[in-house]
């Protein structure tokens, strides 16, 4: 009986490794947004000050909306 559990654990670990490798491959090939000096949400485009030039979004709502739009 213990052999069945060991095999199941091994299979589960293998599947997890494959899933993580697939996620890493997708993440490596996905272009990352770059700071533009304004909010990247096309519905907002709020300008940022010079000390905020590395920001991508003006808030969580804009980031979520950008993610929702770009996933399509």
Q: What is the pLDDT of residues 4-61, one digit of tens each?
A: 888 989 999 999 999 999 999 988 888 888 888 888 888 887 788 878 778 888 889 9
- Cα separation, 61 vs 43, in Å, equals 11
- Cα separation, 13 vs 36, in Å, equals 41
**pTM for this predicted structure:** 0.51
- Cα separation, 55 vs 36, in Å, equals 8
List the one residue out of 24, 36, 38, 32 whose CA is nearest residue 70.
32
Looking at the chain, how many residues does it have? 72
Any idea which residue has 């770009």 for tokens? 70
- Cα separation, 17 vs 10, in Å, equals 11
């Amino acid at each position: 009986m213990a052999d069945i559990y060991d095999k199941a654990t091994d299979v589960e670990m293998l599947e997890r490794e494959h899933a993580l490798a697939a996620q890493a491959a997708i993440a490596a090939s996905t272009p990352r947004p770059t700071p533009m000096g304004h909010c990247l949400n096309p519905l907002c485009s709020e300008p940022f000050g010079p000390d905020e030039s590395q920001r991508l979004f003006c808030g969580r709502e804009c980031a979520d909306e950008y993610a929702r739009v770009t996933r399509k």
